[in-house]
Amino acid sequence: MQQSDPEGVSKLRRGVLLLILDGLLIYIFEPVSLFFLLWLMINGKFPTTISLIYIFSMLALIVLILVMFLGPFLITFAAAGYLNDGFSSLLSRRWGLIGAAGAWLLAIIVFVSTPWGEEGIIHLVSLVVFPLEFLEILFVADVGFVLIGIGLFKVGSSYNNKLLKIGGIVTAIPITNFIGLIISYVALGEVERGP
């Protein structure tokens, strides 16, 4: 078991928490927001006269659009920074670089799949029109989660924490990586509190 590094564990835990929040934003908040916007358009709830409800709807729409596009971008880059620092301070150079590379790979994928990535809005439209490109992005994101899972597993091994090892393994599995992040967050809390 390695000597405790509370700062590194804390940074790693913050990075994992941000990835969990990013997943919630992408898988829950964005679909609900898009459904809300479609509902407004289909039901003709955009009135032609200016009213308090209309102004509130437009402000809500602007906030939703900003959160949907900026949220994942900012959260993933912050998570990558925390994970990079955490893995670098907790693991040897080789294993630390593997975990950090996974975090930065996710950040790059989020940047590329946002409206300002590559060719801007045209790229966003192409993701819908050409689902093969979307599948490629998902594949690269899965590679990022595999690398993060390996890093979490190695941290669990160095602290002799079975729950963190399990969290790392589950994070590395593409379909269950969100659950693995939650398990890892709980396990990192145990490591942070100490024996």
Torsion of CA 83, 155, 95, 77, to 10 degrees: -10
Q: Do 134 and 125 contact (CB within 8 A), yes or no? A: no
Q: Can you give the pTM of this predicted structure? A: 0.76
Instruction: Strands of 64-192 (E only): list them.
Output: none
- For residue 117, the model assigns a pLDDT of 45
3-class secondary-structure state, position 117: coil
In which residue ranges of the chain is pLDDT below 70?
A: 1-4, 29-31, 33-34, 36-55, 57-58, 68-69, 113-138, 195
- CA distances to 75, 76, 125, 150, 152 from 33, rounded to whole Å, are 18, 20, 18, 34, 32
- For residue 71, the model assigns a pLDDT of 76
**Residue found by looking up tokens 């979490």 in the block:** 152
Rounded-to-integer distance, Cα 124 and Cα 177, Å: 24
**DSSP 8-state symbol, 113:** T
- For residue 187, the model assigns a pLDDT of 95
- For residue 13, the model assigns a pLDDT of 95
Domains of the chain: which residue ranges? 6-193
Rounded-to-integer distance, Cα 111 and Cα 118, Å: 9
Taking only the tens place, the pLDDT of each residue in 162-195 is: 999 999 999 999 889 999 999 999 999 999 887 6
3-class secondary-structure state, position 49: coil
Count H helices and E strands in the chain, helices first: 8, 0
Q: Do 151 and 91 contact (CB within 8 A), yes or no? A: yes
- For residue 146, the model assigns a pLDDT of 92
Q: Do 100 and 33 contact (CB within 8 A), yes or no? A: no
